[in-house]
Amino acid sequence: MKYTPISNELFIRNRRRLAEVLKPKSVVVLNANDIMPTNADGTMGFRQNNDLFYLSGVDQEETVLVLFPDHPDERFREVLFLRETSELIEIWEGHKLTKEEAEQTSGISRKSVFWTHEFDRVFIQMVFEAEHIYLNTNEHTRNSSEVESREARGIRQFREKYPLHRYERLAPLMHFLRAIKQPEEVALLSEAIRITEAGFRRLLPFIKPGVWEYEIEAELLHEFVRQRSQGFAYTPIIASGASACVLHYIENNRQCKDGEVILLDVAAEYANYNADLTRSLPVNGRFTERQKAVYQAVLHVMKEAKKLLVPGNVWDDYHKEVGRIMESQLIGLGLLDRQEVAKQDPDNPLYRQYFMHGTSHFLGLDVHDVGNKYRKFEAGMVFTCEPGIYIRKEGLGIRLENNLLITETGNIDLMDSIPIEIEEIEELMHQTP
């Protein structure tokens, strides 16, 4: 991996926090993600299962983590299974973790590190002492994948081998824990944000009429990777002109034209943690008066929304209030009629014609990170704040997005140093590259 080593204190603490919310006599099993095929003998790049990484720091394929805090034998309370290497693997794929390196990475004693092919032999010494087996699944409101994961295969196999154990869902516990970021996690997120800012500042004097969207993508990727990022935190959206009104535009193949606004939803990852930034820029370096008006409206909504990301607020109430703020701005822009708004269906407000997505989501190891929308906001949670206005008939879409850490007394904008005001944007775009 490109990132610098992470202190294993984070992973030791995360395992301890999980142990505190397990039922007595419980064993937890987590598997690494599969390496997914493309075509012929090709494979996609490996991305570790986020829960396994969160609890171990191990960023290697074919890894299994088993936790059993109540096991009478101390060796079997935290057990890590790794892919055993060989001279052939070393030649073709490179170095794999040794047991000593796994201990340094995870904080799990090397006496409790085994090879993956030893799993059945070791696990049978653990499982019959347990009453509950916690298994992981990718439970997420946005997940609709039909690909059978290693986790899904494991659930079927465990139920066949150990039918009389009580099976439990690990996901709700991980969602609860991961929603509150530890100080080390905030530092990793902040590094992803720092790298994102470096890429963004590099772009400002580069963008001009005639540049292609994919050239902008290339500039960002260059800057991200040279600063120890694996690359983009998510597929970059580089949408000029009317394409900015397509929420998930990813073709990035148009030439940017004079007078257009380009919407950039782009950010870096670092050590599996993800930033999430959106900015809207005038291709020629100067906003028109109409573009300024819409931009200022979005910026106003963002500033007001940030004030609501505080402890004790609730997801639905927060979004309803942001909707009311957006409604007022759209009336001011002449896009909505005040009298029509007064008569609107409250379950289908008119502002959704121009602002059809949510304002915030959890952020962390996943870009749309895990968390419970019914849980009150708490210190340590990290949210995006990303209002937008999309006017298809004008070919104009503007969205702005920053990442905020909720604190006991309010919040901290982790992207506060990234330019967002019109005057600063225009000034930086006219500097010599």
Q: Whole-angstrom Cα distance, residue 193 to residue 189? A: 6
Of the candidates 248, 345, 374, 423, the residue annotated as catalytic is 248
Of the candidates 71, 83, 175, 361, the residue annotated as catalytic is 361
Which H or E run contains 278? Answer: strand 278-282
Of the candidates 17, 140, 194, 368, the residue annotated as catalytic is 368
Token digits for 155? 């659930």
**Which parts of 310-402 fold into alpha helices (H)?**
315-332, 338-342
DSSP 204-220: TTT--TT-BHHHHHHHH
The yes-or-no answer on residue 386 being catalytic is yes
Of the candidates 134, 270, 318, 390, the residue annotated as catalytic is 390
Cα maximum dimension of the chain: 75
Q: Of 195, 202, 197, 222, which Cα lies nearest the Cα of 433?
A: 202
- How many Cβ atoms sit within 10 Å of the Cβ of residue 111? 11
Of the candidates 62, 265, 269, 369, the residue annotated as catalytic is 265
The yes-or-no answer on residue 175 being catalytic is no
The single-letter code of the amino acid at 249 is Y
Of the candidates 61, 369, 401, 426, the residue annotated as catalytic is 401
Q: Whole-angstrom Cα distance, residue 172 to residue 97? A: 30
Of the candidates 41, 87, 347, 423, the residue annotated as catalytic is 41
Q: Of 284, 271, 273, 268, which Cα lies nearest the Cα of 198?
A: 268
Residue 123 near residue 114 (C-beta atoms within 8 A): no
The yes-or-no answer on residue 222 being catalytic is no
The yes-or-no answer on residue 319 being catalytic is no
The single-letter code of the amino acid at 319 is H
The yes-or-no answer on residue 248 being catalytic is yes
The yes-or-no answer on residue 390 being catalytic is yes
Q: Which residues contact 163 (CB under 8 A, 6 or more apart)?
A: none
Q: Whole-angstrom Cα distance, residue 242 to residue 262? A: 9
Q: Provide the β-strand partners of residue 132.
A: 26, 166
Of the candidates 117, 166, 324, 357, the residue annotated as catalytic is 357
Of the candidates 59, 213, 304, 386, the residue annotated as catalytic is 386
Residue 256 near residue 238 (C-beta atoms within 8 A): no
The yes-or-no answer on residue 316 being catalytic is no
The yes-or-no answer on residue 34 being catalytic is no
Of the candidates 54, 249, 399, 426, the residue annotated as catalytic is 399
Of the candidates 61, 276, 327, 426, the residue annotated as catalytic is 276
Helix, strand, or coil (residue 340): helix
The yes-or-no answer on residue 191 being catalytic is no
Catalytic amino acids?
A: 41, 248, 265, 276, 357, 361, 368, 386, 390, 399, 401
